Structure 1
Amino acid sequence: MALSRRTLLLSSAAVGAATAATTWPLAASAAPYRGPLRTDPFTLGVASGDPDADGFVLWTRLAPTPLADDGLGGMPARDVPVQWELAADSRFRKIVRRGVVVARQSSAHAVHVELNGLLPAREYFYRFRAERYLSPVGRTRTAPPRWAMPASLAMSFVSCSQYEHGYFTAYRRLAEDEPELVLHLGDYQYEYAAGTYNAPGGNPRDHLGPETVTLANYRQRHAQYKTDPDLQAAHAVAPWAVVFDDHEIENNWADEVPEQPDPNFLARRAAAFQAYYENMPLRRTSLPQGIDMQLYRRLHWGRLATFHMLDTRQFRDDQGCGDGYKDCPAAIDPARSITGAEQEAWLLDGFHRSTARWDVLGQQVFFGQRDNNSGPAKVVSMDSWDGYAASRDRITRGWVDAGVRNPVVLTGDVHAHWADELKLDWTDPTSRTVGTELVCSSITSTGDGADVVPGIHPWAAWNPHLRFYNNQRGYVRTTITSSAMTADFRVLPYVTRPDAPAHTRATFVIEDRVPGLHQTADTPTPGGTSALRAGDLGAATVQQETVRP
């Protein structure tokens, strides 16, 4: 039974009101604890993630006072048993599994239930109970069997949700599309104190607390984001696969090197990683060990698609020449890497082993070349793959040598929609295209933005592989079949006010065995919204991405 849009978006209120009428047979088996929970602890919603053919992770976190300064969400200073339930229908008449898990004080009462042994390619519904309180209902699904070729996959991907810069309406619109899988490609939350990172025209809402440095700070910040009802709706509609970028710790960090000198950076990194795990639907293989966290991994959607989820922060060499857009010799140093040697070898091995129709890289920063200088000097972002050109070339050559059928790179970070074609030889615009990159805009970061008419950036004049650009907020909705991947670049006219509509600004198709982009639709934002001509863009774009990517 499909979870209807109305059921999904109203589930929190409807289920919360029904707690007294629900019978949980396992209630008596839960370990007793002293004193009742006095208010609803399910203020942060529910989520699921990392689906495979026989299971997934279910997540929630108990926090009756989610924005408490100590980061513990107003929970009592003890472990709390939480019951969970998995059903084949949204009314929980066909129960598949039940159990009890302990929400531990040491983990800020986060709950991760890792299930296996389920049927493949199935839709499931889940919920939690803590004492007399019932959580909202979430919908999730298992992936198809590894040998199967499903007819299609509806997958959306997102990045860069700065709470202060606007309302998370794009998450709500994504939920209304009812995807089967969501990828979050980084900058899920931002570290800044209120008012220190401002959108043009000002911030419509503020962060609570100081800049995140301690474990309590990061827990509180994640909780503030998770209280947003639009984000909760997106988490409840489908399983997610997440990777972090920089702002989950601090701007532009690289391995053990902070943006600015900080003798306490490694402690900050460990705290950020712990809070990230506590607040994400990740498997226990990603449980942090101090300053280390295993985040790169693969998800298989039958033989249709393999998702190689990358980590381009934790193992990279420091950005060259002081970061920013530079003509920098370090950018072409073959010894430098954005992935680290071990992850690079893992990825190349995955290319050689792949039998998928589509090999998709879910990762954080711009992959294709973006030279912002029309002259002979190559001025590129040191924070992107341009700043690690040899590393990029090894990965690109790796999928070509392995005979990967359809390589597609998915990217976040730059707060704008882009689509570009990938080359082995960036010096020759006529050289063959060997892959495709789709870049999603931000959910809110940098505020409303503006439509760009036509949807081409000025840099495309000397970077002809850059095929599309739009500076509004939104997300990318894809449909993947055995014959094509269709990408709808979804945009909102504004985010500094709530409840904006969404529409498809442009649609591109990547055909099986034909790397590159075929545009099938171009729909500028309807009248009454701001727009820029491509000629109006210039240094401001570079400044935006350099200072606060």
Structure 2
Amino acid sequence: MHEAPHTPAAASHPAHAVGRRSLLAGSLALGAAGALAVSGAPSATAAVKPGRGLPGDPFTLGVASGDPDHDGFVLWTRLAVDPHAEDGLGGMPSRAYQVEWQVATDERFHRIVRRGTAQARPASAHSVHVELNGLPAGRDYWYRFRVGGHVSPAGRTRTAPHPFSLGGPLAMAFVSCSQYEHGLFTSYRRLAEDEPDLILHLGDYQYEYKKGDYTIPGGNVRDHEGPETVSLADYRHRYAQYKSDLDLQAAHSAAPWLVVFDDHEVENNWAGSVPEEGSDTPATADFLKRRAAAFQAYYENMPLRRSSLPQGPGMQLYRRIRWGRLANFHMLDTRQFRDDQACGDGYKNCAAADDPSRTITGGAQERWLLEGFRRSAARWDVLGQQVFFGQRDRDAGPLKVTSMDAWDGYTASRERITRGWTDAKVRNAVVLTGDVHAHWAGDLKLDYSDPSAPAVGSELVCSSITTGGDGADGDGTHPWFKNNPALKFYSNQRGYVLTRIDRDQMRADFKTVPTVRTPGAAATTKATYVIEDRVPGLKQTYLRPYTAPKGFARTDLDRQTVETETSQP
């Protein structure tokens, strides 16, 4: 079941095989329109005949699905015959096109169960959002689109289990931070080959910088096109560049996605109506225009429901997706409603971080989340969110030096949320996090100052897809562990986290690739952690052996991991 809050928001490419569920294009023979919901679509007579006047393949950006419910999901595509067009409109003629879509229960489309048409309009960069319902629960489906003689690659999606059913085990993966310039999207390809049932993207899907503004040691692997993204055309162009990547397309085609943004979908370290540079009035007015453009482009390029359609600089993104009685996914927005970062941002010893009036979620979202805990009957309550939740104190002495951009900069917010799930007696609370470009795992507590305080939940943090470049292998530890006994695992290589959730446990495999500079790298499991039902806290069951390179001392590893962590934009 998909649950959106009741409160309004504030202010030519082949289909690549990905395992046994190969993503087939095939031939398409679509008929009359079926039931669908398309955001703001005009009447069918407003669109031209399918495919008329198209100068090339319009499906260069692939296909996607998202926000699954027990009886449906969202299907997405965006037409672009030239994804590199600087105006962000993909080289499409300035008129609407009728797009046919088809859903089947088999990957060769022998058993078609739904079909229809949708409109791709210039005002929405020729994107298409089809909301389907009325389908049987807990089943796999395949979908594809056609415009004239052009047929899209096929994608696989699925419906969630019935709300009163636990269903079978859920293979869920989560990812974040894919900086196009810093490497190849190899981890997206490896993720697709793992064939998960559900994928969560926790933010920084794209980055705003112009070429050369954000470089890594050894030089960037490839370049951004165009200026820093500020206008709607800029953001549309940048999304088109990212989405033309075939590894990313493979991941979108493999399973339905749940998406939330972080900062780089707009601008580095923005907070509410405050831009990175500060909060003087002219800058704020300009920033809200920029935010509106970024939100519009984000919606156009993501498989989101109509309930997330932006209203100017506001967007309803936090929402709850129920996977039967097995899991609730509480997808949070920790950017749009937060107070500005305290003490000028960065790592600080900052008394204002403990101000009880400060919030990272805003009051309405906090109340919605706490009510969700109280009403939950799920085996697992999972928070899909952006920035580090547990405490990370980098100072070995008496001072507490923490990140003002994470929940450490909003400690009262963190305590209210944590106490909310403990007071509600949530059965198993797990926080999923992105942002920091490294794998982490740790226990969550009500009192981080007391080493003997019991764990009340667990946090799993995924590394970046590419941001920061290759990184380096290590022994699973970090120098900050000495100051933070709740932290259990660290890895500075790129990758993703693959989980298996069932009635008895949640298993997390931390997957890494050795390089993002050259294609074809294999993904391996660096470590595996298990969370047992009704037993808060993490148990390590596997850690891949590590041998430091010749001449590489432990102090070198300490220096490298700390410098990597503190230098991230």
Percent sequence identity over aligned pairs: 66
Deviation at 1:536? 2.7
Q: Distance in 2 between matches of 1:120 and 1:532?
A: 53
- Is 1:8–1:233's contact at 8 Å kept on the other side of the alignment? no
Structure 2 equivalent of residue 466 of structure 1: 487
The answer to whether the 8 A contact 2:30-2:101 is kept is: no
1:458/1:535 contact within 8 Å kept: no
Residues 196-238 of structure 1: CA deviation (Å, up to 9, x unaligned): 1012211110000010000000000001110110100000000
The answer to whether the 8 A contact 1:249-1:268 is kept is: yes
Task: Tell me the equivalent position of 2:209.
Answer: 192
Q: 2:304 aligns with which of 282, 285, 289?
A: 282
Q: What is aligned with 2:106?
A: 89
CA–CA distance in structure 2, aligned partners of residues 533 and 474 of structure 1:
25
SS of equivalent to 2:410 = helix
DSSP-derived class of the 2:518 partner: coil
1:310-345: per-residue Cα shift (whole Å, max 9, x none)?
000000000001100000111100000000011000
Q: Is 2:478–2:561's contact at 8 Å kept on the other side of the alignment?
A: no
Answer with 33-42 or 146-155: which moved more.
33-42
Instruction: Name the residue aligned to 2:497.
Output: 476
2:31 aligned partner, one-letter code: P
Cα deviation, residue 5, structure 1: 3.2
Shift of 1:6: 4.7
Q: 1:208 corresponds to which letter in structure 2?
A: E
Is the CA contact (8 Å cut-off) linking 1:8 and 1:137 kept in structure 2? no
Q: Is the Cα–Cα contact under 8 Å of residues 363 and 410 in structure 1 kept in the other structure?
A: yes
Residues 142 and 341 of structure 1, relative CA distance in 2, 3 Å threshold: same
CA contact (8 A) 2:177 2:464 kept: yes
Counterparts in 2 of 1:248 and 1:536: CA distance versus 1, 3 Å? same
Match of 2:261 in 1: 244
Contact kept in structure 2, 1:452 and 1:533, CA below 8 Å:
no
Q: Secondary structure at the match of 2:456?
A: strand
Tell me which amino acid in the other structure corresponds to 1:157: F
Matched position secondary structure for 2:294: helix
Paired AA for residue 524 in structure 2? H
Q: Tell me the SS of whatever aligns to 1:471.
A: strand
Instruction: Determine the structure 1 residue equivalent to 2:522.
Output: 501
Distance in 2 of aligned mates of 1:533 and 1:484: 37
Shift of 1:32: 3.5
Match of 2:58 in 1: 41
Structure 1 stretch 384-393 or stretch 538-547: which is displaced more?
Answer: 538-547
Q: Which sections of structure 1, spanning at least 5 residues, go unmatched?
A: none
Contact 1:452 1:531 in 2 (8 A): no
**1:82-120 deviations in Å (ceiling 9; x for gaps):** 000001111111111110100011000000000001100
Determine if the alignment matches structure 1 residue 536 to structure 2 residue 556: yes
CA distance in 2, matches of 1:32, 1:442: 42
The alpha-carbon deviation at position 532 of structure 1 amounts to: 6.9
User: Residue 433 of structure 1: SS of its match in structure 2?
Assistant: coil
**Matching residue of 2:18:** 5
TM-score (norm. length: structure 2) = 0.91
Q: 1:313 aligns with which of 324, 329, 335?
A: 335
**Matching residue's letter, 1:202:** G
Q: CA deviation at 1:9?
A: 5.5
1:396 aligns with 2:402: no
Q: Secondary structure of the equivalent of 2:488?
A: strand
TM-score by length of 1: 0.95
- Report matched runs for 1:219-230 at 5 Å: 219-230=236-247
Which of residues 427, 435, 450 in structure 1 aligns to 2:457? 435
* Partners of 2:456 and 2:77 in 1: CA distance: 41
Distance 1:32 1:539 in 2: 61
Corresponding residue to 2:509 among 462, 466, 488 = 488
**Cα distance in 2 for residues equivalent to 1:46 and 1:105:** 18
Q: Does residue 273 of structure 2 align to residue 256 of structure 1?
A: yes
The 8 Å contact of residues 493 and 529 in structure 1, kept in 2 or not, is answered as no
Q: Distance in 1 between matches of 2:500 and 2:170?
A: 6
CA RMSD of aligned residues (A): 1.9
Other-structure match for 1:100 = 117
User: Does the 8 Å CA contact 2:23/2:156 hold for their aligned counterparts?
Assistant: no
Partner of 2:365, secondary structure, is helix
The question of 1:180 aligning with 2:197 is answered yes
Is 2:343 aligned against 1:326?
Answer: no
* Amino acid in structure 2 at the alignment position of 1:463: N
Q: 3-state DSSP class of the match of 1:117?
A: coil
C-alpha distance in structure 2 between counterparts of 1:105 and 1:533, whole Å: 58
**Partner SS for 1:216:** helix
Cα distance in structure 2, aligned partners of 1:531 and 1:256:
49
- Displacement of 1:529: 7.9
Task: Look up the SS of the partner of 2:473 in the other structure.
Answer: strand
* Residue 195 to residue 8, structure 1, CA distance change in 2 (3 Å): farther
Which of the residues 28, 31, 35 maps onto 1:25? 31
Cα distance in 2 for partners of 1:209, 1:532 equals 40
Question: Helix, strand or coil: the match of 1:488?
Answer: strand
Alignment-derived partner of residue 335 in structure 1: 357
Which residue of the partner structure matches residue 511 of structure 1?
A: 532
Aligned pairs, number:
537
The one-letter amino acid of 1:160's match is C
Partner of 1:119: 136
One-letter amino acid matched to 1:519: Q
